[in-house]
A = this chain, B = another copy of it.
Amino acid sequence: MRQMTLADRPLGRPVAHSDFAMVDGPTPEVGPGDMLLAVRWLGFEPAQKGWMENFGGYVAPMEIGDVMRGMGVAEVVESRDGKWPEGTMVTGMTGWTEYLVSDGTGFDVCHPGLPPEAMLGVLGIPGLTAWVGMHGIGKPVAGDIVVVSGAAGATGSVAGQLARIAGAYVIGIAGGPEKCRWLVEEAGFDAAIDYKAGDVSKQLKALAPKGIDVIYDNVGGEILDAMLARIAIGARVVLCGGISRYEQGGKIAGPANYFNLVLRRARMEGFIVLDHESEWSAIRERLAALVLAGKLKWQADVLEGLENAPAGLARLFDGSNRGKQVLRL
């Protein structure tokens, strides 16, 4: 079987193919009570670049030579009285490998009514992250003005739709007309701002003249600062990610408009979805119900073949993915 391991750390530079090594080895033996999982899908998260860098310290460090850590969907192909029978589709931290042995710890069964790749996007880390950030911190209510950056991404698109479902007016910021069209026409956002087309501040002022009640930020940098310039009194700023950081060599500038948090009596808060694992199962049920009712749209951008996993990760940072970036093995 094949695995991709970490060969180098992409510190201060984009992810490269040479950061990984393809390793061949024997398929692992299955002990009593264990299962052999065959990985069918991998999903990619911006946080994976941070794990490769050992940035942040909120998960165990990755060492050079470790199988690349990542979420996946796998099929139980052998079960020696394991937790689930053969044929069960499960999701969890499979890593970038064709096979692994597990007793099921940290894995969940895939939702039977949705395609398996949905478990990596709308029901996966992105959907869970959107829910925890939006409902746990942002708390939008009817009439709130909500702005989501990185809105066409797997997390941002769910975050914005959850705010819309809660009765808010939702503006998405994304790069390029195609993504903006998808946000408004497919995902039901009230408006979209193409940050590549010009002045985000000016467009925010036009779309949110009374200010922004909830910011859901996936980007950081200038976009975050432009949003902070226009917060309303009592605003909640959900810090979810800072994808602009990943393209910078060193430190990015902090948000100079942070002082509006004082003047507008507002709050800026971060979170890590891994802290909320005990809630994941209940949140997944809610998200699945919304998807099945046609209220929550999602899309997946599908690559093929384990050897293309580095490319799949890199696509997150150049903005070329359309929806959740996944890979079919």
Contact = CB atoms under 8 A, between A and B. Distances in A.
A162 interface: no
A197 interface: no
A261 B261 CA distance: 14
A270 B272 CA distance: 22
Interface in A241-262: 241-242, 245, 251-262
Given A267-B268, A267-B269, A268-B267, A256 B261 contact: no
Nearest to A272: B265
Instruction: Count identical subunits in the complex.
Output: 2
A325 to B, nearest CB: 21
Interface string A124-158: 00000000000000000000000000000000000
B265 A261 contact: no
B251 A262 contact: no
A68 B276 CA distance: 52
A268 B270 CA distance: 9
A261 B255 contact: no
B262 A240 contact: yes
A266 interface: yes
Contact of A256 (B251, B260, B263, B272): B251
A260 B265 CA distance: 21
Contacts of A252: 256
Nearest to A257: B254
Nearest to A245: B259
Interface of A: 56-58, 220, 225, 239-242, 245, 251-272, 275
The 8 closest A-B pairs by CB, nearest first: A254-B254, A262-B270, A261-B270, A254-B256, A254-B255, A267-B269, A56-B263, A268-B268
19 contacts: A56-B263, A58-B263, A239-B258, A239-B259, A242-B259, A242-B262, A245-B259, A251-B256, A254-B254, A255-B255, A262-B270, A262-B271, A264-B270, A265-B271, A265-B272, A266-B270, A267-B267, A267-B268, A267-B270
